[in-house]
């Protein structure tokens, strides 16, 4: 059961990562949309507001999944990390849990500022909220993957 939940948690995180990265790139655009020539142009040339509800839903569901996995991590994985004296690994996970909480708290404002019609005066707020959520998601995803595979990484 725990393996299924871990894989599901990772798959949801991949979906979230994709949606948020598209949106984060799209708000970084400095000039009005021009015909997409490069891969980056096409990657950022998405209809950003359509990602909002999916991001909120995936962020909440992925966080709940993380919350369900946490007891097993605390008992089995963290004690192993402590035994192996991998303090940095514990540290990056501590940050992961705090960042996840901050991300959950930001979701109502994120949803509000992405709500159509998009006001130009909120463009900066929208951009920075999206970037913070993207940063949180990338950090949490990478830390989760590293810790999940840590036995293979530290023989």
Residues lying near another protein in the complex (CB under 8 A) are found at: 67, 70-72, 74-75, 78-79, 87-88, 90-92, 94-95, 97-99, 101-102, 104-113, 115, 119, 122, 124-125, 128-129, 132, 135
Query: Is the CB of 29 or the CB of 72 nearer to another protein?
Result: 72
63 and 9 in contact (C-beta within 8 Å)? no
Query: Is the CB of 106 or the CB of 150 nearer to another protein?
Result: 106
25 and 127 in contact (C-beta within 8 Å)? no
Query: Is the CB of 36 or the CB of 84 nearer to another protein?
Result: 84
Query: Is the CB of 29 or the CB of 122 nearer to another protein?
Result: 122
State the Cα torsion 28-34-38-43 to the nearest 10°: 50
Considering the complex, what minimum distance in angstroms separates the CB of residue 102 from another protein? 5
Distances (CA, A) of 146 to 38, 43, 50, 92: 32, 27, 31, 10
106 and 129 in contact (C-beta within 8 Å)? yes
Considering the complex, what minimum distance in angstroms separates the CB of residue 104 from another protein? 7
Considering the complex, what minimum distance in angstroms separates the CB of residue 21 from another protein? 18
Considering the complex, what minimum distance in angstroms separates the CB of residue 89 from another protein? 9
Output the furthest CA–CA distance in the chain (Å, rounded).
56
């Amino acid at each position: 059961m725990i393996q299924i939940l871990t894989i599901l948690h990772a798959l949801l995180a991949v979906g979230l990562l994709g949606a948020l990265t598209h949106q984060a790139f799209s708000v970084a655009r400095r000039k009005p949309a021009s015909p997409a020539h490069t891969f980056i142009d096409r990657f950022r040339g998405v209809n950003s507001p359509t990602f909002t509800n999916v991001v909120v839903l995936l962020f909440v569901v992925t966080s709940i999944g993380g919350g369900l996995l946490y007891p097993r991590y605390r008992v089995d994985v963290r004690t192993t990390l402590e035994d192996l004296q991998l303090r940095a690994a514990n540290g990056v996970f501590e940050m992961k849990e705090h960042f996840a909480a901050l991300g959950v708290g930001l979701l109502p404002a994120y949803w509000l500022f992405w709500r159509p019609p998009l006001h130009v005066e909120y463009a900066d707020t929208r951009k920075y909220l999206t970037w913070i959520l993207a940063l949180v998601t990338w950090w949490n995803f990478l830390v989760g993957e590293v810790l999940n595979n840590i036995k293979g990484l530290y023989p």
